[in-house]
Structure 1
Amino acid sequence: MTEYGRGQGSEPWHPDDPLYGDGGWGGQQAQAGQQPPYGGRPQQHPQQPQYGEWGHEQQAGYGGQYQQQYGEQGHHQYDQQQYTGHFQDQRQYHQGGWDGTGGQQQPAYPADPVDPYGQQAAAYDAEQPDFYGTPEAYPPPQPPSRRRAEPEPRPDWDPEPEPGQKDEHPFFAGGDEDDDADADDPKNEDRGRGDRKGRGGKGKGKKRRSGCACLVVVMVFGGGAVGVTYYGYQFYQNRFGAAPDYAGNGNGEQVTVVIPKGAGGYVIGQELKKAGVVASVDAFVSAQEANPNGKQIQDGVYTLQKHMSAANAVRLMLSPESRSNLIIAEGKRNADIYELIDKRLEVDEGTTAKVAKSEWKSLGLPAWAMNHKDVKDPLEGFLYPSSYSVAKGQKPKDVLKQMVARANETYERYKFAEKAKELNLKDPFELVTVASLVQAEGKTHDDFRKMSEVVYNRLKPTNTETYQLLQFDSTFNYLKGESNIHISEKEINSNKNPYNTYTNKGLPPGPIGNPGDDALKAALNPTHDGWIYFVATDGMNKTEFAKTHAEFLKLKDKFNASSGN
């Protein structure tokens, strides 16, 4: 490329050309069969020094011709105006030439200064070819600076129109948008002749097709706008709009919903939505967060209604009225729990007790709870007090597994295996037994830690007060399956069953009930005040403690006085 941005070489010019100095000029090739001047090459005007002596000889030749035609003055004027003016500005084009197509040519002979376009032959008597009279010469050539690029060939997917068929509007066929306007503009007459838009022509049919196409575009964009509006609204509703929710307390149709253990707000909402209670999970979660006690919803079975508002569903689930769970109270014995399970499952009485007796080894007891001698019920102490999802259709074995698993989880959390050794017990099974005694004998939660100390102090080998006898009525009552506080000394002293702690030293063979969380904590952390005796002085709820046998006798008299003995 040269410093002017075109291909190498200069372009022919004419002194009378109004575009002289504005991008150069290029003509058409001669017709076939006609001999263009100087071998068909566009006329070049290299600098005189470039060609050495050859250039002088040529100049001399031309000078002779001019002298014959115009005289010495014309020749001199030509040299002065042209070679000192134009060619000094075009020095960089001395190599090569411009052939009208952008190609490179070898240096050409200088053109006739009077006939720079090659219109005249070498001699006046020769026939002069008319380059503008040929079909190839229309439209007239354009200077490179005003010439538009040749249109690219149509791709395979855009074939040429059939004969007689007009091309599409350029807006839809790939042409310029302002073809029609340019074609009507007289200023663009020359430029429009060689453009691609000449194929389509002008006419009403073209405009009609353009109108139809625009209508299609409008319909497409209009439909897109509607779609965007709809989905935008849906997006706004999903992100910022209120979640779908029912109104009222329900439609009167009751349903039972089982909430699994450890379920959070979203899981609970999913279960309620699945049962048709609430309209959406988000509505329930929002209502639960808005309720100060919403986080207190527990696992279990709930009786609710369909189509309830989320707020009403939360309030009902917090109320005992909706709870359909099987609730196991603290200190409950296994025999009583078996009966409750039978009733909830609506099976024959004794069904669950038979399953427990025959399949207790497969219900998930820990290894340290297996194979203890003289144990009345191996599952005692492992049906953890809590609320369980128990409904008709379940199997007793599955319900028992739930309870045993809950007990195992609790005992592991409190590290019973480690704490038992610290408390001088044989194994964690004895720790569960101590907790069951605390639960059975303590009347209030404030009593539990003192009661725990009484047990440990009486188990000590150094105990000279009771000589390792616990002497708990609760163990004898467990043996008998009763809850009697008035037991005669004769009955107690005559019974040698291992569960009779009046006649047998140490702990009973196993737990006598299912201790709750407070009793478990008390068994792990007893007081250290020296308590070794206790008496329910009012016969029911008030328990008083003593450290010596003399103090114990005073408490016993107090009890007899309150009971009328």
Structure 2
Amino acid sequence: MTEYGRGPGSAPWHPEDPYGDGGWGGQQTHTDPQSSYDGRPQHHPPQPQYGGWGDQQHYGEQYGQQHYTDPHQQPPFDPSRQQSHPGAPQQYPQSGWNDGTAQPYPADPYAHQGAPYGGEQPGPYGGGPDAYPQPEPPGRRDAEPEPRPDWDPEPGQDDHAFFAGGGRNDHPERPGADGDDGDDGDGENGENTGRRGRAGRRGRGGKGKKRRNGCACLVVVLVFGGGLGGAGYLGYHYYKDRFAAPPDYAGDGTGEMVTVIIPKGSFGSVIGRKLKDAGVVKSVDAFVAAQKDNPDGEKIQAGAYLLRKHMSAKSAVAMMLDRKSQANVLVTPGERNARVYADIDTKLGLPAGTTKGIAEKQYRSLGLPNWANTDTDIKDPLEGFLYPGTYPAAKGMKPEAVLKEMVSHANQAYGKYDLAAKAKALGLKGPLQVVTVASLVQAEGKTHDDYRKMAEVVYNRLKPTNTETNQLLQFDSTFNYLKGQSTIHISESEINSNTDPYNTYTHKGLPPGPIGNPGDDALEATLNPTHDGWIYFVATDGENNTEFAKTYAEFQRLKEKFNASSGN
């Protein structure tokens, strides 16, 4: 068995002769058939294992270089390749790595044993710190880790790369682990200690370890302290959020007024953010809490609000619920455009008729769908497209901006349905007629239950087979629209003498366009009417109670009931 660190052919170790050759005084000679020097004294230092190098072949063979096989010829001596160190003795000629050959050195049987702590280990020639180990191949220094029999089996924590602060080579089993050129035998003064281990690391001073230990402790303290600080910060804010009252102003605010616009679909925190950004409330949380505490807090809707700055959250909620502070225009289902125009003028502080004039001149640029305004007899192209809802209308805004928002809402509402396909299925000419029917249903129906029956009445009277009214709708609402009024007491002479296309007593079919702005319920009922045969209806109480009939005889009885309730 070959001892670790001894080359093949070495004599066995003897306790009385630790060098196996009687010491340097009497060198042992033997004939090694694998040696380059037949019969010459051979000494084998520990050979690094590089993928099988030294296993019955020379380094030069690994590199494809020629080695010397003549037992009587020495390799040519090249002084330029001889190792040279300051203060080192001249050694016998040896070949460097560049020529592909490697010369064996005397063996060191104790090369595998670590030196005592703080002690020195002799070099490969039995000398002291002046001896130099054989250099490593340049291309192999970082390729593979070299086995190090003298490596410290119990490295300190500060040898770890994290605490050492080293770079690429900070590893105890790799050359250059201490940041130098890999030759761990060098001491502080450039002297070779003859070993590659802990002594070499200690030779560079133990103060560095203490310094690194101090840095490590500092890092631990900072991390631990930062963790405590972070926990305290989170705990404080958790307590503050859970138990402390949110920041809030006191009182009803200053005299400075500000307009706040709340978008559609906004909920408590969004509204609170808008108010805080405008300087009305001090915090979002305060507003959310005040809105929850107010029984009517959830009734706050989208729109514009005229509020004071620096108000308490409670006062802000109460003021937003007050209609006087609401800088909005509210379009109700069935409301006509003429009323909407007047409301916009009032909210914006404009002369009467300003918004109506803009609508007449700029309706094409307000976003109407391409199927709108297809009849030249339409009185107002925007009728039916100022969709019911609440819209901001604060002073300083332009009327066309308010109208555009209303038309945009109508496009969204109508866009949810395929009105072209629905019109065809219902026997109508196009989407505009669907909206027109919805406006009639909205105007004539009084309750939600009336809408579907009212839609059926319209469709039954439009049928060519209608012999009851001969395709005449005969709706008072259409006549009132063209007259700009709202009354149920219309004389037959007045109705029959008017030939306007909106008079459905004298013109068959639908009016040219919508007579108001229908809401969601009326629109959905228009698209889904009943099929019970209704063709007549009478508001028997004159206001909210509408009754339906299928025959003319039933209609007469309902009419008599109406006359009795109204005093006719």
TM-score (normalised: structure 1): 0.63
Residue 346 (str. 1) matches residue 349 (str. 2): yes
Quick one: structure 1 residues 289 and 6, their matched pair in 2 at CA, closer, same or farther if it must change by over 3 Å? farther
Q: Which stretch shifts more, 409-418 or 211-220?
A: 211-220
Deviations 1:85-131 (A, max 9, x none): xxxxxxxxx99832557598999x9xxxxxxxxxxxxxxxxxxxxxx
Partner AA of 1:427 in structure 2: G
1:448-459 pair list within 5 angstroms: 448-459=451-462
1:493 Cα deviation (Å)?
2.0
In the alignment, the residues of structure 2 paired with residue 308 and residue 12 of structure 1 have an alpha-carbon distance, to the nearest angstrom, of 101
Query: What secondary structure does 2:261 align onto?
Result: strand
Relative distance call for 1:258 and 1:230 in structure 2 (3 A) is farther
| Alpha-carbon distance, 1:172 to partner | 8.7
**C-alpha contact 1:25 1:143 (8 A) present in aligned 2:** no
Corresponding residue number in structure 1 for 2:246? 246
Q: Matches of residues 328-347 of structure 1 in structure 2 within 5 Å?
A: 328-347=331-350
Write the letter of the residue equivalent to 1:492: I
Residue of structure 1 equivalent to 2:411: 408
- 1:145 matched to 2:112? The reply is yes
Separation (CA, whole Å) in 1 of partners of 2:498 and 2:563:
24
Bigger helix fraction:
1
- Cα distance between partner residues in 2 of 1:458 and 1:326: 36
Task: Give the secondary structure class of the aligned counterpart of 2:371.
Answer: helix
Q: CA deviation at 1:391?
A: 2.7
Which residue does 1:64 correspond to in 2?
none
Equivalent in the alignment of 2:544: 541
Alignment of 1:221-240 (within 5 A): 221-231=220-230
Give the distance between the partners of 1:465 and 1:515, measured in 2 at CA. 27
Distance 1:372 1:99 in 2: 113
Separation (CA, whole Å) in 2 of partners of 1:97 and 1:493: 138
Q: What residue is the counterpart of 1:514 in the other structure? A: 517
Change (3 A) 1:277 1:18: farther
In the alignment, which of 382, 391, 396 is matched to residue 394 of structure 2? 391
Determine the structure 2 residue equivalent to 1:463.
466
Alignment of 1:136-285 (within 5 A): 143-146=110-113, 195-196=199-200, 215=214, 217-231=216-230, 242=241, 246-247=246-247, 252-253=252-253, 256-262=259-265, 271=274, 274-275=277-278
Alignment equivalent of 1:472, drawn from 470, 475, 491: 475
Shift of 1:502: 1.8
Aligned partner of 2:375 among 352, 356, 372 = 372
**Mapped contact 2:5–2:109 kept (Cα < 8 A):** no
> How far, CA to CA, are the matches of 2:506 and 2:524 in structure 1?
29
* C-alpha separation in 1, matches of 2:271 and 2:366: 28
Deviations 1:423-451 (A, max 9, x none): 21122211211111111111112211222
- 1:181 is matched with none
Q: C-alpha distance in 2, partners of 1:564/1:539?
A: 11
* 1:432 aligns with one of 427, 431, 435: 435
Alpha-carbon deviation of 1:474? Answer: 1.2
CA contact (8 A) 1:301 1:325 kept: yes
For 1:223, give the aligned amino acid: L
Measured after TM superposition, the shift of residue 347 of structure 1 is 2.5
Deviation string 1:354-386 (CA, Å, 9 cap, x unpaired) is 111001112122222133121110111111111
> In 1, Cα distance between the equivalents of 2:520 and 2:197?
101
Q: Is contact 1:12–1:44 with CA below 8 Å preserved after alignment? A: no
Counterpart residue type for residue 113 of structure 2:
R
Question: What SS is found at the alignment partner of 2:450?
Answer: helix
Query: Contact between 2:473 and 2:509, CA under 8 Å: does it hold in 1?
Result: yes
1:361 aligns with 2:306: no
**Conserved 8 A contact 1:380-1:514:** yes
Alignment match of 2:42 (pick from 83, 97, 100): 97
SS at match of 2:387: coil
Contact 1:245–1:280 (CA under 8 A) maintained in structure 2: no
1:505 alignment partner in structure 2: 508
Query: Which deviates the most, 328-337 or 530-539?
Result: 530-539
Moved more, 336-345 or 276-285: 276-285
Once residues 475 and 439 of structure 2 are traced to their aligned partners in structure 1, the CA distance between those partners, rounded to angstroms, is 12
Question: Is the CA contact 1:533–1:552 (under 8 Å) kept in the aligned structure 2?
Answer: yes
Moved more, 414-423 or 375-384: 414-423
How far apart in 1 are the matches of 2:41 and 2:301? 96
Quote the Cα distance in structure 2 between the aligned partners of 1:534 and 1:382: 27
Are residues 213 and 449 of structure 1, via their aligned partners in 2, closer, same or farther at CA, if it must alter by over 3 Å?
closer
Please name the residue that 1:5 is paired with: 4
Letter in 1 for 2:338: A
What is the rounded CA distance, in whole Å, between the counterparts of 2:514 and 2:552 in structure 1?
Answer: 27
CA change 1:419–1:238 in 2 (3 A) is: farther
Contact 1:441 1:451 in 2 (8 A): yes
Is the partner of 1:388 in helix, strand or coil?
A: strand
Please state how far the C-alpha of 1:458 moved relative to its aligned partner. 1.8
Q: Structure 1: which amino acid aligns with 2:445?
A: G
Counterpart residue number, 2:28: 43
What TM-score does the superposition give when structure 2 sets the normalisation length?
0.63
Identical-pair percentage: 50
Matches for 1:43-82 after TM superposition, within 5 Å: 43-45=28-30
Would you say 1:532 and 2:532 are equivalent positions?
Answer: no
Distance 2:395 2:541 in 1: 42
Is 1:556 matched with 2:559? yes
Distance 1:363 1:192, change over 3 A: closer
Shift of residue 338, structure 1, vs aligned partner:
0.7
Aligned residue number for residue 422 of structure 1: 425
> Within 1, Cα distance between the matches of 2:433 and 2:266?
33
- Assess if the C-alpha contact under 8 Å between 2:334 and 2:519 holds in 1: yes
Q: Per the alignment, in what secondary structure is the counterpart of residue 519 of structure 1?
A: helix
Q: State the Cα deviation string for residues 493-534 of structure 1 (Å, max 9, x = none).
A: 222221122222222121111111111122222222222222
Give the distance between the partners of 2:13 and 2:511, measured in 1 at CA. 131
Count of paired positions: 449
Contact 2:261 2:305 in 1 (8 A): yes
Give 3-state SS (helix, strand or coil) of 1:144's partner: coil
Return the letter of the residue paired with 2:42. G
Q: 1:370 is aligned with what amino acid?
A: N
Structure 2: stretches of 5+ with no match in the other structure: 48-53, 59-66, 72-87, 91-107, 115-120, 124-131, 137-157, 167-176, 180-192
Deviates more, 1:5-14 or 1:370-379: 5-14
2:328–2:347 Cα contact (<8 Å) kept:
no
Q: Which has the higher contact order (CA 8 A, sep 6+)?
A: 1
Provide Cα deviations, 1:245-302, integer angstroms capped at 9, x if missing partner.
8255766447544333455787666545544567788999999999999998754335
- 1:145 is paired with a residue whose SS is coil
Deviation at 1:352, TM superposition (A): 1.2
Task: Give the deviation of 1:193 after TM superposition.
Answer: 13
CA contact (8 A) 1:26 1:99 kept: no
Separation in 2 of the partners of 1:25 and 1:316? 108
Q: Structure 2 CA distance, aligned partners of 1:347 and 1:383?
A: 19
Q: What is the deviation of 1:304?
A: 6.6
Q: Secondary structure at the match of 1:561?
A: helix
Give the direction of change, closer, same or farther, for the CA distance of 1:287–1:240 in structure 2 (3 Å limit).
Answer: farther
Which residue of structure 1 lines up, in the alignment, with residue 488 of structure 2? 485
Distance verdict in 2 for CA 1:99–1:429, change over 3 Å: closer
What is the RMSD computed on CA atoms of the aligned residues?
5.2
